[in-house]
Amino acid sequence: MQNKKIVPRKLAGFWELDPEKELIFEIMLDRIKQVFLRHAFLPLDTPVMELSEVLLAKSGGEIDKEIYRFEKGSTDACLRYDLTVPLARYVAMNEGALTFPFKRFQIGKVYRGERPQKGRYREFYQCDADIIGNQNLSLVADAECIALYKDIFETLNLNAVIEVSNRKILFGLIEELNLSEKFNEIATALDKIDKIGKEEVEKILTDLGVVKASCEKLISLVSTKGEFDEINKALEKLSSSNTFKEGLLELKQIDSYLKDMGAEGSYLFNLAIIRGHNYYTGCVFEAYLSGLRQLGAVGGGGRYDNLAEYFTDKKLPGVGMSIGMSRLFDLCVQNDLLKIDITSKNKASIIPLGDTLSTCLKICNKLRSSGINCEVLFEDKSFKSKLKDANRSEVPFVIIVGEEEVSSQKFAVKNMQTGEQNSLSTEEIIKLMR
């Protein structure tokens, strides 16, 4: 009895690209890595799986339902849901051996067991860079993380805008309005202003017991955007809170550092950027593709007071930036934004005619040694079939090696776009391909 075949299918929400797209994605990752290295960030690769007590230390039960959790014998472990908690664990374990500020980047897959939908996956690539201080950390670090976006998007030939705010400004105003105990609910409502509009946000705030005058101040705050001088003029009389003033002063300093770093024109200040409820404590920012803000952020980050508070008593403040690489790639494909020349594709297919395979392999080796990607079509097929295979793979050149060519050491090189064919030596082929 013949075994029943299993229908090949993929788990919903798990990412998979065809080779052509994967090649472009790998080029994007390589370019981003080079930006991180130029900024003196060090690579770090933490395990995909962590002990549950480590990974869930700071979740407070909020994300437990999204976690992929496993038990193997006495080991209780989870697949990582972000790259920040593993970083916190690593820094806490190795703080004595690290030089601070510690600058690291990591690009890797993370896993969240949520309902998959357009633009949201259960498995996706995250691209993070963080700067961790020992006891204190200069605001230069915040500016550098924001400036990273400019360099990254430029190397990908993409236009993007980074929107920057500071949560201390919102903290200070809510504190002055005697609404601190409702901060999370108010922040959640204000965070929706771009999606549901000012009137709906005001209704939510009113339902929370916020009086009309306070509603107007809060909505005025998160409706403020522009260059620093503009927002400073609009907000300087909105609150007398010291926390509020501290937030504005930090934005002023970051603005100055960003200009010194040559990032002017790549960012704006937008007080509607809030990011989460409890995690960030100062400067926050989000990245949007120019003209496509309605599709949502492709990255974000900010300042946090103590990265590893669940693992050590040592205060380790930090600031980090992140890009959702899977989401960014999808948006670029859907909107035809990827202008990346695939220079690493196969340049030539070498076709043996008769008993010339040995010579073909030697030619292939010489080309590869010269940095030229190529292959020998060694399968037992007709010349016509091999030519079709080469054409189907969109290879720019075909090198035809027959016995006459072996004798003369001049090989037929066909340009698959123009149809032009020339007899060239191996050295001339290498010069042509380069």
Question: What integer pLDDT is reported at residue 191 of this predicted model?
Answer: 85
Residue with tokens 């400067």: 283
Scanning 346-401, the segments in alpha helix (DSSP H) are 357-369, 383-392
The pLDDT assigned to 236 comes to 83
Task: Report residue 293: phi and psi, to 5°.
Answer: -60, -30
Short-list 273, 320, 286, 309, CA closest to 41: 320
Measured between alpha carbons, how far is 199 from 353 in angstroms, rounded to an integer? 76
Helix-strand-coil split of the chain, %, nearest 5? 40, 20, 35
Q: What does the block give as tokens for 271? A: 């007080």
Give residues with Cβ within 8 angstroms of 387, minimum separation 6: 351, 398
DSSP letter string over 268-294? EEETT---SSSS--SEEEEEEETT-GG
**CB within 8 Å of 251: residues ≥ 6 apart:** 164, 165, 166, 169, 228, 231, 269, 283
CB atoms within 10 A of CB 13: 17
List, by residue range, all CATH 3.30.930.10 domains of the chain.
19-334
- Rounded Cα gap, residues 244 and 266, in angstroms: 25
Q: What phi-psi label fits residue 108: left (phi over 0), alpha (psi between -120 and 50 degrees) or beta?
A: beta
Q: What angle do CA 88, 93, 96 make, to 5 degrees?
A: 110
Please give the CATH architecture assigned to the domain spanning 348-433.
Answer: 3-Layer(aba) Sandwich (3.40)
All CATH 3.40.50.800 domain ranges of the chain, comma separated, are 348-433
What residues have CB less than 8 Å from 432, skipping those under 6 apart?
Answer: 397, 413, 424
Q: What is the pLDDT of residue 59?
A: 62
SS3 state of residue 163: strand
Question: With contact defined as beta carbons under 8 Å apart, do 300 and 284 qualify?
Answer: yes
The b/e string for 251-284 (b: 16+ C-beta within 10 A; e otherwise) is bebbbebbeebebeebbebbbbbbbeeeebbbbb
Q: Exposed/middle/buried for 211, CB within 10 Å: 0-12, 13-18, 19+?
A: exposed
Candidates 3.30.499.10, 3.40.50.11540, 3.30.200.20, 3.30.930.10; CATH matching 19-334: 3.30.930.10
434 residues of the chain, pLDDT tens digit each: 567 899 999 988 898 999 889 999 999 999 999 999 999 999 999 999 999 999 888 765 555 778 899 899 999 999 999 999 999 999 999 999 999 999 999 999 999 988 877 767 899 999 999 999 999 999 999 999 999 999 999 999 999 999 999 999 999 999 999 998 888 888 888 888 888 888 898 899 999 888 999 999 999 999 999 999 999 999 988 899 999 999 999 999 999 999 999 999 999 999 999 986 577 899 999 999 998 988 889 999 999 988 888 899 999 999 999 999 999 999 999 998 988 776 558 899 999 999 999 999 999 999 999 999 999 999 999 999 999 999 888 899 999 999 999 999 999 999 998 999 999 999 999 999 88
In angstroms, the CA 390 to CA 225 distance is 54
Which residues neighbour 82 within 8 Å (Cβ) at sequence distance 6 or greater? 110, 126
Coil/strand/helix, residue 144: helix
Establish whether the linkage from the previous residue to 396 is cis, with ω within 30° of 0: no
70 forms beta bridges with 77
CB 231 within 8 Å of CB 224: yes
Residue 281 CA: distances (Å) to CA of 83, 139, 148, 301, 319: 19, 13, 20, 11, 10
127 DSSP β-pair partners: 107, 323
Query: CB count, 10 Å around CB of 359?
Result: 20
Residue 296 main-chain phi, psi, to 5 deg: 100, 170
Helix axes 212-222, 193-207, angle to 10 degrees: 160
